[in-house]
Copies of this chain bind each other. A is one copy, B any other.
């Protein structure tokens, strides 16, 4: 019934003492004010303005509206300012989820970039493997997920539909074989997986284990998985102690290298692609876009970012 425009008009009249001056202060023509007041009076069923020949004065009811105008308009302005701050990257919160091995360098570098450029944009961060991070994205618990897909498999393992997501490739990550330093083949420049068919294997996260099984199958053997752990530092530790060999993405070696371990390219080569993932809607949120950009830039030092 009464809206912000009406209050603005009443307040202008109260402040300036005439319709004409109120109109000028609001950038309207004088008849616009006349009609606005008339409409308000019709709607409220009350006289709001006393016409005294040349000047006007608010009645008690008009003064009531004028008194309420300030808080209401101030609150509206505040709301607008807050939204504008988010739109202008002077505020905003982005909830990022990334898989553990990305946390070591890629994500911290991206967070630093965002913070440097937009100090008031807050990126919160938590670790999760791709299936959970994508589920969190879908359910609204996070805004950006950093996930990966092994060559030839879908990002979401084929089961989830990806149409509802927007993906941005960040970098290509080569999958290498990790051997203990004292292993007989540690000096090779390249290795066939089938050569390792009789070694005990150490597997990483479930998807990595799946990838290992898939590659081994293609190489014609069934690996003996002696240990499984999601913690890649532990994987490398186990390898260093000579308890087995493992497939590890290059990112791991570079960020958490273990001096007792060497990694070699495998033949045929295999890679995984690391993506930043979000939704089409969120992609248009400035703070989210800035985070994606930062991830992209942080990645270019290591890989190719097309975006």
Contacts and interface: CB of A to CB of B under 8 A. Distances in A.
B72 A79 contact: yes
Interface of A: 1-5, 7, 44-47, 49-53, 57, 59-61, 64-65, 68, 71-72, 75-76, 78-80, 82-84, 86-87, 92-93, 138, 140, 164, 279, 281-282, 284-287
A57 B140 CA distance: 8
A71 B5 CA distance: 17
Contacts of A49: 281
B7 A50 contact: no
A61 B86 contact: yes
25 contacts: A2-B80, A3-B4, A3-B76, A44-B87, A46-B83, A46-B86, A46-B87, A46-B285, A46-B286, A47-B281, A47-B282, A49-B281, A51-B281, A52-B279, A57-B140, A59-B281, A59-B282, A59-B285, A60-B93, A61-B86, A61-B285, A65-B79, A68-B76, A68-B79, A72-B72
A33 B135 CA distance: 28
A68 B59 contact: no
A135 to B, nearest CB: 13
Nearest to A2: B80
A246 to B, nearest CB: 38
Contacts of A68: 75-76, 78-79, 82
A50 B285 CA distance: 10
A44 B83 contact: yes
Contacts of A61: 82-83, 86-87, 285
Nearest to A55: B140
Contact of A80 (B1, B51, B52, B164): B1
B83 A64 contact: yes
A52 B138 contact: yes
A2 B140 contact: no
A5 B57 CA distance: 29
A86 B60 CA distance: 8
Contacts of A57: 140
